[in-house]
Every structure is written in structure tokens, then in C-alpha cells.
Amino acid sequence: MIASVACVSTAPLRLVTPEDRGVRVSQTGSVPMIDSESQLKALLAGMSGVDAVGVDGRCAKLATRSIKRSSKKAAIDLAISMVDLTTLEGADTAGRVSSLCTKALRPDPSDLTVPSCAAVCVYPDLVAHARYVLGPSSVAVASVATAFPSGRASLKVKLMDVADAVDAGADEVDMVIDRGAFLSGRLGQVFDEIVAVKAACGEAHLKVILETGELVTYDNVRRASWLAMLGGADFIKTSTGKVGVNATPQAALVMLEAARDFAESTGHIVGVKVAGGIRTTKQAISYLVIVNETAGSTWLTPEKFRFGASSLLNDLLMQRLKQQRGAYVRPDEFSGD
């Protein structure tokens, strides 16, 4: 078979200029206005698919990164500063929240070089108390809202939930999307809710929880990420921590790719939060590796990447001390909060 001249593509390929290399946050782009559900659907359906085998393979490879010595020390401190120290139990009390806030401010009272956590994350009725304990510190108060964790309530109730949290002094609101609506194709409804919640947040930052464990496919994760970012999310977050499958490296990878691409096309830098099931330093560092090699330095700050966790903090502190002393200390060296 010989190609006839007429069918040969000879388009010159401009090789990428140095200014265009790396992850370039757009200086001229803007977030497209969404006017209708059909426009939103067309936009999301036009996105490239995600190959599950490829995502699994990429994550497996990134998991082999070996982070040692000074890189490990730096990673541990960075991870501590990215923790949203969380308690979301029916049994939560003001006393429990007080001790959590104290812990977030000074994770290791015997070593003041340990950075504070990024935020404390509680239910709306405990926001005022957390605000009171934290005072004017750098540690933010985050509140889950919108009928967390299921999101099964009317929009009216959800907005009142958000207003409640914001009025009580929440700096950040973690909302859940309506997974039922998303899975049944009512994307406009999901979008409108995010827009409404964003408006209700006022100055507060909005984190949109996709609940990737319930979205199941990576295609859904990518589309839900874009949907949330288009709706005005300041952060996209993997999970509530209340379902069978919570944060996974794969979901984080797909969401970070989405956040990176969104920044490149619109100029808006949306943060990513992984939550649920992250308990060890090793896991936390492997997420930082994914951030480092997918979205890059702009996301390697507490402003753009968070861990929603509770027991992770003590493991980070223990590993930090291990790096200093060369040996592990007893778990009882650290407070149990």
C-alpha cells in the first residue's frame, strides 16, 4: 500500500516554546458562563475520557517514589500544615472540639517548630465554639454543610445549613454534591446547587465534596470535578469519609489533572482536598508526590491542597520525631486528640 500524495498530512509542528512549558496558569482565560443544562452537558461530554488501567498504572508507579532524609522532613512538615483536623461524629461535644482546636494550633507542644494545621473541620453547630477557641489564629474553621454526608435534603434546607455555619464564623464550607442527581444525569440541578451554595458562602471558601466512591468511574470523577469548578468551587474534595470507598490516589490523580487543566484554560486555581482513610505518613507523602508530579508547586501549599484527617496527624508527628531522633517514640508521647 502506498500513500497517495493527496492523503499525506504535512502540517508543520511548532515545537513548544520555553514560555509554554510546564503548567501555565492562563493569564487571559476565564471561566465559561453556563447558561443551560444542555450547554453544561455538551461541555462535559466533550472532555477526553479517562482510561482506568492507565490511571491505576500511573498511581502504582508514583507509589514507588522513595522519599528519604531532608525531602521526607520537608514533606512531613508540609503535610502537617495541610491537615484539616476533623471530627465529624454524632458524639462530638464542645469539650472534644476544644481539645481538637488546641491540637491543631500546636500539634506538638514540646516542639514549637511544628507548624499548625490548616483548619479544624466540624459540624455547623460546633463552629461557634471552634471559632471561640481558635481566636484570631491562622487555623481556619471549616464546617461541613448541605445535609452532610448524604446531601439528601431540599435546597432550602441545605442553604439554611450553610448560612448557619457561615453566620457562626466558618471560614470554609465543605458541601456535598447531590450524587443521585449527578448519576441520573440531572447535571443542571447539581450545578445550580453549587452556584447557590457558593452565593450563600459569601466570603467563606467553598469546598465541593464529589464523594468519588459513589461516582465510581474515573470519567465521572473528571466530569464532576469540572462541574464543581465551573460552579465556583474554591476546592474540590474527594470524600465525606462516611462511605465504603473514600480518598484514593487514583481519584486524587484525576482531580489534580482536572484542577491543572482548569487553571490552564481559565486562569482559576482550584484547590484539591483528599479526605477519608488517610492515616499514615507514607500515604500522605505519596499524595504529595502525586501533587508534585501532576499539578506542581502552585498546589503544594495549604492554600491549594488539604488532607481531611484525624489520626494522620499523630503519625506525622511520630515520623517527624523519628527523623530527628533516629528511633520511634511511644504513641503515648502524643496527645490522643
Partner 1 sequence: MSESLANSQLGAFTYDPAPESTGVVRLQSSYGLFIDGTFTEPSSHDQFVTLNPATEEVLATVAQSSDADIDRAVTSARRAYDDVWSKTSGAERAKYLFRIARLIQERSRELAVLETLDNGKPIRESRDVDIPLAAAHFFYYAGWADKLDYAGFGLNPRPLGVAGQIIPWNFPLLMAAWKLAPALAAGNTCVLKPAESTSLSALALAEILQQAELPPGVVNIVTGDGQSGSALVEHPGVDKIAFTGSTEVGRLIQQRSASTPKHLTLELGGKGANIVFDDAPVDEMIEGIIDGIFFNQGHVCCAGSRLLVQESIADEVLRRLVRRIDQLRVGDPMDKNTDVGAINSASQLARIEELTAYGEREGATRYTSNCALPEKGYWFAPTVFADVAQSHRIAREEIFGPVLSVLTFRTPEEAVVKANNTKYGLACGVWSEKGSRTLWVAQRLRAGVIWANTYNRFDPTSPFGGMRESGFGREGGRHGLEAYLDV
The angle formed by the CA atoms of residues 34, 259 and 160, to the nearest 5 degrees, is 60
Among 5, 33, 53, 327, binds partner 1 (CB under 8 A): 53
Cis upstream peptide for 149 (omega within 30°): yes
| Candidates 103, 198, 273, 304; catalytic one | 273
Kindly state the smallest distance separating residue 10's Cβ from partner 1, in Å.
8
Q: Is 2 exposed, middle or buried (0-12, 13-18, 19+ CB in 10 A)?
A: exposed
Is 83 a binding residue for partner 1 by CB under 8 A? The answer is no
Is 11 a binding residue for partner 1 by CB under 8 A? The answer is yes
Kindly state the smallest distance separating residue 43's Cβ from partner 1, in Å.
16
Please count the CA atoms within 13 angstroms of the CA of 260 that sit on its side-chain side.
20
Q: Note whether 252 and 290 are within 8 A (CB).
A: yes
Kindly state the smallest distance separating residue 281's Cβ from partner 1, in Å.
15
Q: Given the complex with partner 1, which of 222 and 237 has the nearer CB atom?
A: 222
| Candidates 174, 178, 234, 261; catalytic one | 174
* Cα(210)–Cα(197) distance, integer angstroms: 14
Among 40, 44, 58, 161, binds partner 1 (CB under 8 A): 58
Is 69 a binding residue for partner 1 by CB under 8 A? The answer is yes
Among 30, 38, 74, 111, binds partner 1 (CB under 8 A): 74
Pattern 264-303, binding to partner 1, x per CB under 8 A? ---x-x------------------xx--xxxxxxxxx---
Bridge partners, 225 (sequence order):
none
* Cα(126)–Cα(123) distance, integer angstroms: 6
Q: Given the complex with partner 1, which of 29 and 277 has the nearer CB atom?
A: 29
Pattern 12-41, binding to partner 1, x per CB under 8 A? xxxxx---xxxxxx-x--------------
Known catalytic membership, residue 174: yes
Q: Is 163 exposed, middle or buried (0-12, 13-18, 19+ CB in 10 A)?
A: middle
With residue 221 as reference, give the H or E element that holds it.
helix 218-230
Q: 202 phi and psi, to 5 degrees?
A: 60, -120
Q: What is the DSSP letter of 329?
A: P
Is 112 a binding residue for partner 1 by CB under 8 A? The answer is no
Kindly state the smallest distance separating residue 334's Cβ from partner 1, in Å.
26
Among 34, 41, 65, 92, binds partner 1 (CB under 8 A): 65
Q: Note whether 175 and 208 are within 8 A (CB).
A: yes
* Cα(335)–Cα(247) distance, integer angstroms: 25
Which amino acids are annotated catalytic? Answer: 174, 237, 273
User: Which residues contact partner 1 (rule: CB under 8 A)?
Assistant: 1-3, 7-16, 20-25, 27, 48-51, 53-55, 57-58, 64-72, 74-75, 78, 257, 260, 263, 267, 269, 288-289, 292-300
